[in-house]
Each structure stands twice: as structure tokens, then as C-alpha cells.
A and B are shown apart, each in its own frame.
Chain A
Amino acid sequence: MSYSDKVIDHYNNPRNVGSMDKSSADVGTGLVGAPECGDVMKLQIKVNPQTNVIEDAKFKTFGCGSAIASSSLATEWVKGKTVDQALEIKNTEIVKELALPPVKIHCSVLAEDAIRAAIGDWKKKQEATKPAAVQTVQ
């Protein structure tokens, strides 16, 4: 099996590798794993509490080239989006962009899971800090 040029590019020059302060209220952390292969991926987002826009994203993935490329791409895509827009990202779009073969689909699923998990973590923190009465909008 050979990797597409885009995968190789992300693999050789991964964007946004790194980590952020997990305990910060503006940071959401998603740590997910693919049981099929045992790989792990951590994706973090920093959200502007006023606008809900994701201002920064970082990742660290221990896994195959496709998982690294998928998470690298995911950090690029979520940046500048609101959290709700970021939730719209589907693994199939990642598959398309990176031209992943069928056996590598689970690697893109991992990236989508990581985005959701990071946003979920951030939302949980928001709810914990906000007084309950403010939560009227769904």
C-alpha cells in the first residue's frame, strides 16, 4: 500500500504538533484510541469563550501515517471554526482529502472522534463554570 502525496506531506510536516494546558478553562482535550490497531491520538483546542471560535489546535498522535495525517489535517480544519461548525467535520471528508484507502478509514474515524472528544471536554468545562440559569439556549 502506498500513501497519497497529501498523507506524506502531513506526515513529514505535521501541522500543529504539541500540547496545551489541559487544566485551562478555554482548552478542550480529546484523547481517543483505535482498538483495531492500538493507536492513540490526542487533540486539543483553545476556544474563545466570547465567540466560541476555535483559535488554536494542537495534536499528538502515536500511530500510523494516516492517523498522523488525519489529525494534522483535523487541527488545520478546526482552526477558525466555531465549535458547532467543527462538529460538522466528518471522517469521510478527511478520507476524501487525504485519499485514504478503505483499510485506513478507521484512522480518519479516530480524528473525527478526537475533535468530538475535545469539544465535549471543553463544553463540560463551560457548563461547570457557568451558572445554571444562563443555560437557556440549546
Chain B
Amino acid sequence: MRAVHFCSSCGKVQPPVPVDYFMFFGFTAKLDLDTASLEKEFYALSRRLHPDLFAQANPEERAFSLEQSSMLNDAYRTLKDPIKRTEYLLRLEGIELEEQSKQATEKARATGELKKQVVPPDLLEEVFELNMHLEELGAQKKLGEDDPALLEEIGKAKLSLEEKHDALLHDLKTEWKKWDETIDNGREVDRPKILATMLDLLNRRNYIRNLLRDVNEAVE
């Protein structure tokens, strides 16, 4: 099914119907989507919704065309980006990153059990260590000194993080394929596990991305 943007008999622009971004482009909610056809759809629709075409239209039609194009832009920006696309799908499935953490804290409070950290401990250790190094580096810089050993340490950590980042993206794509299979074969029972894995991968990636940003700032 796809959202109808224009009337099939008179060709007039229609008010946007509340569909998800996948449907907006006439796609099923698959993650490994064909970005070339996404782009093609986007440009085709952009042209047909261009404000210049509605300069003479009645106010209602003009308003619809504006709403349609803003949805078009949001939808395109979200689906084009692999991470945003995955996050969006998780949200469609009712999983919010922030909520997750809060709910886990509430559960830990109620049961007295230890909260399940959404980020694995070994990665936390690594993040913490590297932050310590970066802080040290900053302090040295202020004094006008440079410790080559420290810089080397940070350089190594950076490489390892970049590798991890790539590996995570690779793993994410594997989950995409699994997800898409469940769309094809209708096996809904398989979905929660795939969603949980994707969430975990995104959480780790968040850490790594932030850290890489800090590292790059620090060594500049």
C-alpha cells in the first residue's frame, strides 16, 4: 500500500494521510531498502509538490501541498540515513531509547535487582578509560607539553573504536536482513528478538560515535 498524494481522477494534491514514512513512499517497512529507488521517488514527488506549481492554486490546495512536502522531506531524511531509519522503525514498534533506560531503572527500584545496563560493561570500561586519557591529554596541552606515549595510546584506541563502529554497522545490516525476512514470511514471533538486538547495537554505536567525536576534537 502506498499513501495517495494526488487524486487519481483529477490529479489534485491530497491532504497527507497519517501513514508511516515507509508507506509514504509506497514501501513495506523493510530496513534493507533500495536507496536508489527511494531517491528516485523523492525527486519525483518533490517536483510534483514544488511550491511554484501551486502559486495559483486555491489556499486549501496550497496548504495540502505544503504539508505534503514537509512530510516528504522528513520521510526522506529519516529513511535515507541507515541509523535514523533503524531508530524510526524501533519507534514504530514502540521502542523509545530514552524510555528503555527509565523503565529499567524503575524496574530495578521495584525489585531491588541490579539494573540491566543497556550498554555492556566492557564497553563502558573502555569508554571510561579513554575519557581519562583524553582528559590527561587536555591537561598536558594546557601546560604546553605533549606525551608521545599518551598520544599513541589514544591513537590506538581510536583505531579500535573505528573498527568497532564498522563492525556494529555490519551487524546492524545483518539484523536488517533478518527483520526483512520476517516481513516476507510473516513470522512475527521472531521480531522481538531482532528488535532487541538492533536496539543494543544502536546503543553501543551511540557511545562509540560520541567518543570518536571527542577523540577527534582532542587530537586536532
Contact = CB atoms under 8 A, between A and B. Distances in A.
Nearest to A31: B124
B131 A35 contact: no
Interface string A92-133: 000000000000011001001100110010000000000000
Contact of B102 (A40, A87, A90, A106): A106
Interface stretch (B60-68, B111-119, B166-174, B181-189): B111-119
B127 interface: yes
A62 B119 CA distance: 15
A32 B117 contact: yes
B97 to A, nearest CB: 6
A134 interface: no
A34 interface: yes
Given A40-B131, A42-B128, A106-B101, A116 B211 contact: no
A123 B206 CA distance: 31
At the interface, is chain B mostly helix, strand, loop or mixed? helix
Given A40-B127, A40-B128, A90-B109, A31 B98 contact: no
Contacts, number: 71
Contacts of A120: 114
A119 to B, nearest CB: 9
B141 to A, nearest CB: 17
Contact of B105 (A37, A39, A87, A91): A91
Q: Which of A33, A39, A105, A116 has the largest count of B CB atoms less than 10 A from its CB?
A: A33
B210 interface: yes
A31 B128 contact: yes
Nearest to A120: B114
Contacts of B210: 37-39
Contacts of A112: 105, 109
Contact of B124 (A32, A37, A116): A32
B105 A109 contact: yes
Contacts of B101: 34-36, 106, 109
A117 B109 CA distance: 11
A42 B125 CA distance: 10
B124 A33 contact: yes
Interface of B: 97-98, 100-102, 105, 108-109, 112, 114-115, 117-119, 121, 124-125, 127-128, 131-132, 135, 202-203, 206-207, 209-211
21 contacts: A31-B124, A31-B128, A32-B117, A32-B124, A33-B119, A35-B97, A35-B118, A36-B98, A36-B101, A36-B206, A37-B210, A38-B206, A40-B127, A40-B128, A60-B128, A62-B131, A87-B112, A91-B105, A109-B102, A113-B115, A116-B108
Interface of A: 31-40, 42, 60, 62, 87, 90-91, 105-106, 109, 112-113, 116-117, 120
